Each structure stands twice: as C-alpha cells, then as structure tokens.
Amino acid sequence: MLWNRLSKRLKRRSLLAPTAISIALLTGCAGTPSHVVNLEQSLTDEYEPLKEEVWAEQQADIVHDELVSRGLLLNAFSPEVSYLREMKSHLMAGSGYGDQIQVYLVRAADPNAFALPNGNIYIHSGLFTSLDDPNQLAAVLAHEVSHVVQRHGLKSVIAQKNALVGAHVADLLTGGLGLVYWGTVASIMNYSREQELEADRDAVELLKQSGYPSSAAISALEAIFEHPLNKHGEKSIYNSHPHFDDRVAALRPLSAASNEGVSGPEDAQYRSIREQMVELNLKLHLRHRQFVLAETIVRDNLGGVLSESQQAMTFSAIKLGVAKYPEDAAKEQHWLDTGKMRAPKALIEQFESATDDNLDQAIQMYREIIDSPRAPVPVAAHKKLAEAYELRGFLSEAAVSYQQYLAQAPEAKDRRFVEYRLQQIQTK
C-alpha cells in the first residue's frame, strides 16, 4: 500500500521537490568542498586531514604505482624529467613548499597533463608536440601546480561523492531508471570548469612572478587546442574543461598587463628535449595505429625539429601501417572527421582496396631512403622494407632485406623476431 501511494504521488507531483530535499539532507551531512584548505594551510602542525583527503591520497598513490609498474613514466634522472623539475622549482621558488609537488613525464602521445591529490603532476610527452617554446610549457606546469595548491582534486572527490549519493536517492525515487544522473554529471562538470578557470588565473600569476611572459598562458591554450584531438568540441575527451573561447576570454585581461617583453629562458635545451619527445610521440602514434595523427606531426615538422631522414622514415612507416591495418586507419580517419568511433563499411573497404598501392609506395619510399647518398641510412629501413616486401608477396626480396638488417644490427633487441620472419619465408 505504501508503494502504491508513492507511485501515485510521483505521477501527480514534480520530482524536483523530493529529489532536492533528499540531496540537501544527504549532502548537508557530509563534508563539503568549502571545508578543504589549500596546500600551504594543510602543512601546518595543527591541521587534521579530512578522511576524504587520506582516501584520495591513497588512491593517487595507487595510480602512481600503476604508472611506474607499467613503465609509462620516463626515468626520473633523464634530462627531460630533470628539465621539468627545474622548471617547477623555478615556478615555486617563492612558495616555501615546492618540495610537496613532484613532476613526472608520461609516455603518452596526446597533449595532456594532470595533477593528483598526492601532489604529483604528470606531463604527457604529447605536450611537447603541441607546445612551441618553454614559456608555453611553463604555463601548463603552472596551471597544474595551481590544481595541487588549491587542492582541486580533493574538492572534486568530495563534490562527486555528495552528488552521487544524491543521485542514487533520486534514482530510487524515479524507479531506478538513471534519469537523474545526467543532471548530476553536468553539475560535477560545472564545478570542474570553475576549478579550471581558477587554475588558469593562478597560472598567469605564477608566470609573472617567475619571469615568464604571461601571454604564454593563452598561446599554450591555442597550441593545445589546435591538436586534431580537440577538433570535436562537445564530443572531445577534453570536454570537462571550459570551452576554449571562455578560457581565453577570461585570460586576456589578466595576461595583457605588466610583463610583455619578457622572453623567458633560452630554448636550446627545450628544442633538444622536444626532438626526443616528438620522436617518442611518433613511435607511440604508429604503435597505436594513429596514422593521421603521426602524419600531422611530420607535415607540420614543428619548426624543423625532425631531420629529413626522420621525416622520410615516418612517412614510409605510415604508408606501411595503413597497408597493414586498413580498418584501423579507416576508423581513425572517421573519428577525426566526425567524432564517431564506428567507421562506415564503405570507408573501410576503400582503405582495404588501397592496400597494394600503399605497400608499393612504402617499398619505393624505403628503397629511396636506403639508396640515398646521404649517410647514415637508418638500419630499421631494411627491416621495414623487408616487411613491406613480405606483405606484398615478394618473398625473395624480403629475405634479402631481413638478412641485410641482421648483418647491420647483430645486437638488435628484435633479432629473434626477424630471424623467425626469415625462417618463415625460407620454409615457404
């Protein structure tokens, strides 16, 4: 009888009142983001950490351990990571608590960075592809430093917890249909957008204090949003951030003042590091069958970061990759064009029908690299040529190329792989 009365009431009245009351009751009982103090205040002897804080830091430590165990973090003693840590120290020189924040470099080709509640900041190698100079890198790092200092991660955990509890109750009241979750998700994202705008504002201040041009905050955003992954706005994985136009509009008045004309540090070291990271990012893109993204990097050539030989090798690898994995190539093309994951059959067939042409082009390109009078010839060109020959059915040519590779790279880590391929050809 109780449930019958409830269901009739639900039909007659708006759901907003009971939902709102339930959420208010539940969230009122829990901690709120406004209870969270900033990093500096949390370091005093009198401070008692919230239980959500302890939990969030534990979870962040688990994430870090996971990144380490998967080999996704570059060595802490590498020049690239040392460079980032020096930059962080410079940004936080006036704070007195810079050692509470650690910076790591992640093997990931998308232009991203994130901060965790345990004070760790992770910069993706993909950022180096997008960012033209060290000032822009400093702007991104300053933005992430603000997330840690303002403890946005912890505030989000608390906000999400409260919102989800409310959503669960509302979901029950609406018959378990999940209808209330959409509004809740939107409210969490709005909260996150406020934090992003705050981090942008803080970043400008940090840049000014540290002698970096504050205009780098805007130019960094422009550089990142030019990336093909950010093409689809609402469909993009970067949708939790405020819209690009809103962020730039908020930043313009802040960065226009005072320190124009400051150029920032010398960029020779940045250029060298960028070269290494771009090479890494290209390998990652090719391994993940992201051929259009790889080609975008090579075509832009980022102020001459890549040598002629690197460009040629990458173009050839893209041709070979598209020939080997036409379905993945079609899916990537379709996703970048439309934001949709499922490529139409016609597009897949179009890529599949071009396989032989792509292989022939790859063979020609690798032959040109090997026959080029400009030394040195990348040893890998022999192996890749062999692969292209093998896929095309030119087995004797493939065998010759594999043998040339083994002769020139006797200590190669993939020696057994190549020996196996050679054996397979020779037994056919």
Partner 1 sequence: MKIGMIALAVVLIGCITGCTNTTAREHVTLEDQLKRIESVVLLPVDVKIELVTLTGENERLVEREAELAVKLTDIVNASLTEHGFTTVPSDFTETVDDEVDVAYAITQIREGFDQVKKDIDFGRVLPKSKINKMKVTVGEAANIVQSVSGTDAIMMVNYAGFDKSGGHVAKDLATGVLVGVLTMGAVVPVAPKSGAMIEMALIDGASGELLWVNSGGGYLNEKLATHVLKKFPQDVDE
Q: Give the residues lining the site for partner 1 (CB under 8 A).
A: 3, 7, 52, 55, 58-59, 62, 68-75, 107, 157, 160-161, 163-165, 168, 171-172, 175-176, 287-289, 413-417, 419-421
Two structure tokens written together for 342: 């499922």
Indicate the residue among 168 and 367 with the shorter CB distance to partner 1. Answer: 168
What is the number of other CB atoms lying within 10 angstroms of the CB of residue 319?
Answer: 24
Q: Is the separation of the CB atoms in 382 and 390 below 8 Å? A: no
Indicate the residue among 72 and 248 with the shorter CB distance to partner 1. Answer: 72
Least distance in Å: CB of 58 to partner 1?
8
Least distance in Å: CB of 163 to partner 1?
8
Least distance in Å: CB of 44 to partner 1?
26
What is the number of other CB atoms lying within 10 angstroms of the CB of residue 399?
Answer: 20
Paired strand residues for 122: 104, 114
| DSSP-assigned letters across all residues of 390-424 | HHHT-HHHHHHHHHHHHHH-TT-TTHHHHHHHHHH
Distance of CA 237 to the CA centre of its chain: 10
Q: Is the separation of the CB atoms in 154 and 36 below 8 Å? A: yes
Indicate the residue among 253 and 410 with the shorter CB distance to partner 1. Answer: 410
Indicate the residue among 173 and 248 with the shorter CB distance to partner 1. Answer: 173
Indicate the residue among 107 and 241 with the shorter CB distance to partner 1. Answer: 107
What is the number of other CB atoms lying within 10 angstroms of the CB of residue 423?
Answer: 11
Q: Is the separation of the CB atoms in 264 and 133 below 8 Å? A: yes
Q: Is the separation of the CB atoms in 370 and 382 below 8 Å? A: yes
Least distance in Å: CB of 165 to partner 1?
6
Two structure tokens written together for 93: 């020189």
Least distance in Å: CB of 201 to partner 1?
28
Indicate the residue among 91 and 167 with the shorter CB distance to partner 1. Answer: 167
Q: Omega of the bond prior to 49 within 30 degrees of 0, cis?
A: no
Q: Is the separation of the CB atoms in 128 and 81 below 8 Å? A: no
Indicate the residue among 188 and 248 with the shorter CB distance to partner 1. Answer: 188
Least distance in Å: CB of 417 to partner 1?
5
Which residue bears the tokens 């165990």? 69
Q: Is the separation of the CB atoms in 156 and 189 below 8 Å? A: no
> In terms of Cα–Cα distance, which of 116, 84, 94, 83 is closest to 206?
94
Return all residues near 7 (Cβ < 8 A) that are at least 6 apart: none
Least distance in Å: CB of 27 to partner 1?
11
Indicate the residue among 144 and 171 with the shorter CB distance to partner 1. Answer: 171
CA distance 173 to 13: 12
Least distance in Å: CB of 1 to partner 1?
11
Indicate the residue among 3 and 28 with the shorter CB distance to partner 1. Answer: 3
Least distance in Å: CB of 412 to partner 1?
9
Least distance in Å: CB of 242 to partner 1?
23
- Write the CA distances from 165 to 27, 148, 173, integer angstroms: 8, 26, 13
Q: Is the dihedral of CA 87, 91, 96, 98 positive or negative?
A: negative
Indicate the residue among 301 and 404 with the shorter CB distance to partner 1. Answer: 404
Indicate the residue among 107 and 392 with the shorter CB distance to partner 1. Answer: 107
Dihedral (Cα; 101, 104, 108, 110), 10-degree rounding: 40
CA distance 262 to 26: 51
Q: Determine phi and psi for 127, rounding to 5 degrees.
A: -65, -35
Least distance in Å: CB of 185 to partner 1?
11
